[in-house]
Amino acid sequence: MDPASILITNDDGFGAEGLRVLEESLASLGSVWVVAPDREQSGQGHALTLNQPLRLKRVAERHYVVQGTPTDCIYLAVNTILSKRPDLVASGINRGYNLGDDITYSGTVSAAFEATLMAIPAFAISQEIGEGPISYEAAGRWSASLAQQILKRGMPPDTLLNVNVPRLAPKGVRITHQGRRIYPGGVVERRDPKGRPYYWIGGQSADWEADPATDFAALAEGLISVTPLHLDLTNYKVVDEVRRWNLEL
Amino acid sequence: MDPASILITNDDGFGAEGLRVLEESLASLGSVWVVAPDREQSGQGHALTLNQPLRLKRVAERHYVVQGTPTDCIYLAVNTILSKRPDLVASGINRGYNLGDDITYSGTVSAAFEATLMAIPAFAISQEIGEGPISYEAAGRWSASLAQQILKRGMPPDTLLNVNVPRLAPKGVRITHQGRRIYPGGVVERRDPKGRPYYWIGGQSADWEADPATDFAALAEGLISVTPLHLDLTNYKVVDEVRRWNLEL
């Protein structure tokens, strides 16, 4: 059997330490291809870049830099760079967690979604940060063990795994569901030197629903959180109810 | 009973025609507050803006412009502008549809999600466009009739409605689920004048799964599509399966 082909990308850019740790961690499992954005993409749009051309630069064997989003990286890698479809896509290790409702905006998770759309098994992995130095060691080690499982078992259809690693040495692993932000409702009003107001969102720190099955709770208990996600936001539970509204023209 | 208070925003910016049509369409149902981004936000991040201050400008009675995302607009409106919580949030009318997997990246839908997080009933409404002039008339009319229903019935918990209106006169209404893109896989390689390659994503046009229950199919048949969405991407169907993997440290 051919050695596994593993494609990795991230949201923090090609030079990020988390990407390097991910590459090293997966190296023993197959040939790792690194195709990553040239710079940090946080806060950028995470969809495919359709309205402008993308530059792609080979910087070393199996190492490419893309002037685009993490999603672009996966798309270009599979469609033009790799000669065959990868067996696994891993995205990360992101500097900072991707939990709860905020994963909708996460480039790290979006890249894994793009792979899932192409029916390629994928996971996203993010490292909680706090004060003091960041260690990606536990996340790297656990990436390898998860990758091994996925290469062996495959992935349920239409599913990706969103992994978050706690800041301190993990005490275990929990399969979770996506948690919900509890609305802080804070806005801080300030005045500029000319007396004009401006506003900061998030005066209070965000809180989260108290449910031990959530990704947040797992992390707070020092566990690695693994959430199986899919791409479908439809609330099937209420479809029939809305049908009974008999909406008409 | 007080007249209903309705908050509207959009992704195309304060000056967009779709926003004006939405405002006029809902005017007979209550007092409409318009809080919208100062410029088009498409392709911007759609999360809350946490790392920079936001400017807010009152331009007329109940009309405000925010230097921020549609999500910021909803947040600021509810937390600082309106004296009481609105009874309904409507986002749109977006210039161009918001269907299938792409709604993850939609500012129009994100604004409605933000309202849903605050337990305020909300819908997003988008107008399919094609060649020739755009008419928001049908979408405007239907916004009013939907808003009336929601004000009367309320909304199922944790749910928003994602509405798309076909380009030609709608023939009816269908409650749908979120469709899936079928992967086109196209990349077009070009050379710049210096002979260096660059890439366009999406050589072929995207196709969609052939399922009449999807938002895509409804629009293709000339129907208004109404998809109930929630905020949870967890794939609950596979949670137990992944638990049986017995992932450990």
List, as one string, the DSSP characters of A131-199. SS----HHHHHHHHHHHHHHHHH---TT-EEEEEE-SSPP--EEE-B---EE----EEEEE-TTS-EEE
Q: What are phi and psi of B91, to 5 degrees?
A: -125, 120
A58 inside 8 A of chain B by CB: no
Closest CA in chain B for residue A43:
B45
Q: Do B235 and A249 touch (CB under 8 A)?
A: no
Cis peptide before A6 (omega within 30 of 0): no
Report d(CA B175, CA B225) in Å as an integer. 6
Q: Do B226 and A232 touch (CB under 8 A)?
A: no
* A4-179+211-243 belongs to CATH 3.40.1210.10: yes
Predicted pLDDT at A41: 64
How buried is residue A30: exposed, middle or buried, by Cβ count under 10 Å (0-12/13-18/19+)? middle
Predicted pLDDT at B85: 94
Predicted pLDDT at A201: 84
Task: Give A224's contacts in chain B (Cβ within 8 Å).
Answer: 249
Tens digit of pLDDT at every position of chain B (249 positions): 678 999 999 999 999 999 999 999 999 999 999 999 998 765 555 667 777 889 999 999 999 999 999 999 999 999 999 989 999 999 999 999 999 987 877 889 999 999 998 899 999 999 999 988 999 999 999 999 999 999 999 999 999 999 999 999 999 999 999 998 776 667 888 998 888 889 888 766 667 788 999 999 999 999 999 999 998 999 999 999 999 998 988
Nearest CB among B78, B158, B178 relative to A232 is that of B178
Low-confidence ranges of chain A (pLDDT < 50): none
What torsion do the CA atoms of A10, A14, A16, A21 make, to the nearest 10 degrees?
70
Distance from CA of A240 to the nearest CA of B (A): 9
Task: Give B148's contacts in chain A (Cβ within 8 Å).
Answer: none
Report d(CA A161, CA A158) in Å as an integer. 10
**Which residues have a Cβ under 8 Å from the Cβ of B244 and sit 6 or more positions away?**
none
**Residues 99-158, chain A: which have Cβ within 8 Å of B?**
101-105, 110, 113, 117-118, 142, 145-146, 149, 153, 156, 158
- Give ipTM to 2 decimals: 0.87
